[in-house]
Structure 1
Amino acid sequence: MSFNNLTRRHFLGTAAAGAAVLAARPSLAASKTLNILSHRVHQTVLQPQGGENLLAEWSKAQDAEAVFSTFDSNPLQDRLFREAGLSKTDFGVGYIIDNRPTSDVAKLFTPLDDLMAKDPIEDYEDIAAGLRQGMTVDGKLIGIPVRHATGGLFYNEALLEEAGISAPAKTLEELVEHTKKLTFTSKSGTPVVGMIMASDLAIFPVSFARAFGGDFITSDFKLLPNPEAMEKGLAVLNDMFKAGALPRSYATTKNDDQVTWMQQGRAAYTMITFARFKQFNDPQQSQFPGKIKAVAFPGSESLPAGKMAGVTESWGMAIPANYPNKELAWSYIKEVASKRVTLGMAKNGNGPVRVSTYADPGFAQSNPLAAVEAEVLKSARGAFPPFPEAARAQQFFLEEVQLAVIGRKPVKEAVASMQQRIQPLLPK
């Protein structure tokens, strides 16, 4: 399951595999058509049912109609890459996930640097640096960021107060202390674990390694640039597991389990995308509406202030190299990436890629986490860069992490095994 949670305001699970049309709309009778491959959520935030059509100005100016073919995430990427590999495609814009464009995949798409130089995106530097980097392959820009899913540390304020804790953890060491104290039976009789996290996603061990100044794989494909930091991060997780502050079922815990346990008050802390805030506090789903809040995931007290890099995944808009009318496709991308449309999409539930969007008074008022999410986004980056063997590398990584966390293998041995198993998979 991807950390790139496509749910902001209940979008989870709304996209069925295969082409889908959101709702019947009157024909624009436009002279041009721009066919777009995307996830349904990308169309929904642009053309919400019963809301403002954010593409109306673009359609009028270009005398063009945007026609979406929507798929779930993995089928979408497969279809996009197949279309881009043909001699010619009718799809002018495709939405691509930042951990998919390897060097070979990137060659299927139009380098956007010349288009940027000729007809630039509005205030491109306003788009978070980590997201821009995720759409740059071999020094060439192949996509413009349009949506992100960035992780934060969520906590149940009611459970913290019950355990005598007045504020969420500010350092990793304090977080560990809290999770142990919060492994108790609440006054309602519910057994509580201090923290819950999925075992099948790299973001969690990567975050614990980054808390000590380390990483998994850097953007220039250095594996475990600071092995001691990874060892420290895994040692912390192992200590939490031994103390019962992680669920006994850690090895089989999934992303959706985190949501359920937090809503039911069975866990006090979790790390998940900021987009989950509304779901956590929905009175119809949660037993603690208004009590589940979030802060930035904290670094170790040994890490200099401001150096903790969050984890994010993002989507970008790309132009297949085999699409003939690149100017029309670029005009769409420019419009969707503009400040006006980025703000409009954010109000419709999109994860805004522009830092300035979070400062908009209207958006900030409707999103209690706007300030903290904006701060995390400034330095957030993906858990690992794209490369052909990335899926296998993540699998090997998570296998070793799980063995270390549950105590089946010494931490130092697990980290050494990561190095041995994953290094041959990296690009030469």
Structure 2
Amino acid sequence: MSGIHKAVLAGVAMTALAGLSPAGAETLNALFMAQAAYSDADVKAMTAAFEKENPGVTVNAEFVPYEALYDKIVASKAAGGAGYDVVLYDVIWPAAFAQNGVLLDVTDRLKDLDRSKVFDGAWATVNYDGKTYGMPWILDTKYLFYNTEILQKAGIAEPPKTWDELAKDAKIIKDKGLVQYPIVWSWSQAEAVICDYVTLTAAYGGTFFDGDKPAFDKGGSLDAVTYMADSLKNGLSNPNSKEYLEEDVRKVFSAGDAAFALNWTYMYAKANDPAESKVVGKVGVVPAPGVEGKSKASGVNGSMALGITAGSSKPDLAWKYIAYLTSKPVQDQYAKLSLPIWKASYTDPAVTKGQEALVKAADVSIGLMTPRPTVASYQELSTILQAQIQNALAGKASPADALAEAAKQAARIR
């Protein structure tokens, strides 16, 4: 029996779909993200295998940038049966999607699954108000990547464990002239900057709300943005970080032009790919740092899930496709760009071989992933924070003033 056939059986059994016979001459429309995590090629290969196991079924897979994903999903609801059947969605959207009837509640479809086999951080992606709106698929957080050769030349024996150590190490590297800007980040005015901001806020022990009142302008949140702004002011961080997304960060690091970078899982494989990188074999990875006396490490929940749209006319077939893609055998087969949601995968040599350092970091980071604010108005809240953090990074306002304005605006939409 082939590994792919086993994957189908595992996915079907997992979701109590054993009684569903293969559909004939049916088409599913699915929406995916064209960046980070699984590559387009990986998703197409998974889909082709699913179609082969289900004769007569065709899956039209569309790939869009992350920044277009939310609007595409919302527009699909308005399109009804003419929209998507399966959509990839972010951990920050279940509240809004549940309240607006965008996704189907699939709680009953998962009644036979032992949820303890999947990491808690993954379930946070699909759960809202006691119901489940999909199946976790991409389990991700941000890691600190470092260039081992640059650290060695700088006389730095081990990667930083705290954010203060990172700044000190970056200054050593800069002073020795090894790279002009030792750290690179994805701080474009987009969701990317929020992910780095949340990582740092978690490290500093910050909170986003005090009850219902926004608390962006105090404590760990203010410490986080102050650190970000200072790293630019001190010339430790690449100034282009203010315009960069994750792929820009990957390219700068892979070109050997940065000693440190904060990025998602997928960068480990990409930065070690000779076709795409000049730093192959020089890529170190550890959990994002902590803050002495407050945290040992830090992380943001960047997980994503697959759900069925409320307008789908083929929910059973859509779920069969989701069950296949999220099954352990399939995830294990494609674990180089996105680590599986299944706990058992992390002791499987087929998954860990060649990426032992990444798996070791994940063993720490996955357990402390911090969620972004879980509110139905998240999109509006994120937009406010993006703009005000950008003001602080650009020097248009102090971190305190920028975050005070963010808190003031956020209070109006709560």
The bucket for the TM-score relative to the shorter chain is 0.7 to 0.9
CA distance in 1, matches of 2:274, 2:380: 40
Distance 2:397 2:71 in 1: 37
Matching of residues 27-426 of structure 1 within 5 Å: 31=24, 33=26, 35-39=28-32, 44-45=41-42, 48=45, 53=49, 56=52, 59=54, 65-73=57-65, 77-86=70-79, 88=81, 92-101=85-94, 102-103=96-97, 107-117=101-111, 120-121=112-113, 123-186=114-177, 191-200=179-188, 201-216=193-208, 223-224=214-215, 227-305=218-296, 308-346=297-335, 349-368=337-356, 369-385=358-374, 387-388=376-377, 390-405=378-393, 407-426=395-414
Distance 2:300 2:315 in 1: 32
Q: For 2:386 and 2:319, how far apart are their aligned partners in 1?
A: 39
Cα drift, residue 156 of structure 1: 0.9
Judged with a 3 Å threshold, the aligned counterparts in structure 2 of structure 1 residues 273 and 165 are, in CA distance, closer, same or farther, namely same
After superposition, what is the alpha-carbon deviation per residue over 1:40-88, rounded to whole angstroms, capped at 9, x for unaligned? 7587435529x9825655x3xxx76252332314555545434444554
Q: Residues 40 and 63 of structure 2 are in contact (CA less than 8 Å); yes or no, is this contact kept in structure 1?
A: no
Preserved contact between residue 198 and residue 250 of structure 1 (Cα < 8 Å): yes
Q: Secondary structure at the match of 2:309?
A: coil
Instruction: Give 1:419 deviation, angstroms.
Output: 1.1
Structure 1 residues 52 and 420 mapped into 2: Cα distance closer, same or farther (>3 Å)? Answer: closer
CA drift of 1:229 comes to 1.0
Count, aligned residues = 383
The structure carrying a bigger helix percent of its residues is 2
Q: Which residue of 1 aligns with 2:12?
A: none
Q: Hey, what's the Cα distance between the residues in 2 that align with 1:236 and 1:75? A: 30
CA RMSD in angstroms comes to 3.3
310-319 or 64-73, larger mean C-alpha shift: 64-73
The amino acid that maps onto 1:154 is F
Give the AA of the match of 2:106: L
Q: Return the alpha-carbon distance in structure 1 between the equivalents of residues 295 and 71 of structure 2.
A: 42
Deviations 1:346-393 (A, max 9, x none): 25x4442223222211110032312212431233244344634x3443
Change (3 A) 1:90 1:413: closer
Gaps of at least 5 residues in structure 1 are: 1-28
Q: CA deviation at 1:205?
A: 2.1
- Preserved CA contact (<8 Å) 2:122 2:303: yes
Q: Give the SS at the match of 2:181.
A: strand
- Give the Cα separation in 2 of the matches to 1:237 and 1:404: 9
CA drift at 1:250: 4.5
Kept after mapping to 2: 8 A contact 1:93/1:329: yes
Contact 1:403-1:409 within 8 A present in 2 as well = yes
AA aligned opposite 2:407: Q
Q: In 2, distance between residues paired with 1:208 and 1:356?
A: 29
Once residues 105 and 331 of structure 2 are traced to their aligned partners in structure 1, the CA distance between those partners, rounded to angstroms, is 22
CA deviation vs aligned residue, 1:193-242 (integer Å, no higher than 9, x gap): 23121322212222221111114469x97633782111222232333333
Shift in CA distance, 108/239, structure 1 to aligned 2, threshold 3 Å: closer
Q: 1:108 is matched by which residue type in structure 2? A: V
Task: Return closer, same or farther for 1:132/1:217 CA change in 2, 3 Å cut-off.
Answer: farther
Q: Which amino acid aligns with 1:71?
A: F
Stretch moving more, 155-164 or 208-217 = 208-217
Alpha-carbon distance change, 124 to 42 in structure 1, aligned in 2, over 3 angstroms = farther
Which 4+ residue blocks in structure 1 deviate beyond 6 angstroms? none
Query: One-letter code of the match for 2:87?
Result: G
Contact 1:35-1:90 at 8 Å conserved across structures: no
CA contact (8 A) 1:43 1:68 kept: no
CA distance in structure 1 between the aligned counterparts of 2:317 and 2:251, rounded to whole angstroms = 44
Is contact 2:216-2:403 (8 Å) kept?
Answer: no
C-alpha separation in 2, matches of 1:277 and 1:70: 25
Of the structure 1 ranges 88-97 and 203-212, higher mean CA displacement relative to structure 2 is found in 88-97
Indicate conservation of the 8 Å contact 2:44/2:61, yes or no: no
1:144, 1:181 → 2: CA distance?
45
What residue in structure 1 maps to residue 11 of structure 2? none
| TM-score, normalisation: structure 1 | 0.77
